[in-house]
Structure 1
Amino acid sequence: MKFVDVVNITVIAGTGGNGCISFIKIGRNKFFRKPNGSNGGDGGNVWLLSDSNIKTLSYFSSHRIFKAGNGVSGRSRGRSGKRGKDMIIHVPVGTRVSCLKTNALLGDMINQKNGTLLLVARGGRHGVGNNGVKFLRNKHYKNNSNILCWDRVQGRSGEIQHLLLDLFLVADVGVFGLPNSGKSSFVSMVSQAKSKVADYPFTTLTPKLGVVQVEDKSVVNNSSFVIEDVPGIIKGASTGSGLGLRFLKHLQRCQMLLHFVDINPADKSDPVKNIIDIEQELKAYDRRLIDKTRWLVFNKIDLLDEFKLEDRINSIIRSVQWNSRYYAISVTHKINISLLCWDIVQFINKDGFIESANSKV
Structure 2
Amino acid sequence: MKNKKSIIIISIIILFVVILGVYFLLNKQSNLNKQINLDTKTLENLKIFNKNLDDYYMQTWDNNKFLSSYSYLVKNDGTEVTLDDIEKSLNYKVPEDLKDVSIHFVKPKALKPYLKDKILDDDPEVLTVYSALPVEGGMYVSSKFDEGGFLSEKDYKQFVMDHSWEHGKVKTPLKDEKEYNAILKAVEEKDKSLEKGNVKYIACDDKYAMIVISSKDDPAYIKQYALQKNEDNSYKVIIEDLQARDNKIFVNYAYTDFELSMLPPYEIYKYNNISSDLSYVVDLLKQSGELNNDEEVLYSCGAGSFYYLEFKSNLKLLLYLNEDGKMDIYEVDNFKTALSQMTKIENNPPVFILNFE
TM beyond 0.5: no
| Higher relative contact order, chain-length normalized (CA < 8 Å, sep 6+) | 1
Identify the TM-score tier after normalising by the shorter chain.
under 0.3
The structure having more radius of gyration, on CA atoms, is 1
TM-score of the two chains, using structure 2 as the length reference: 0.27
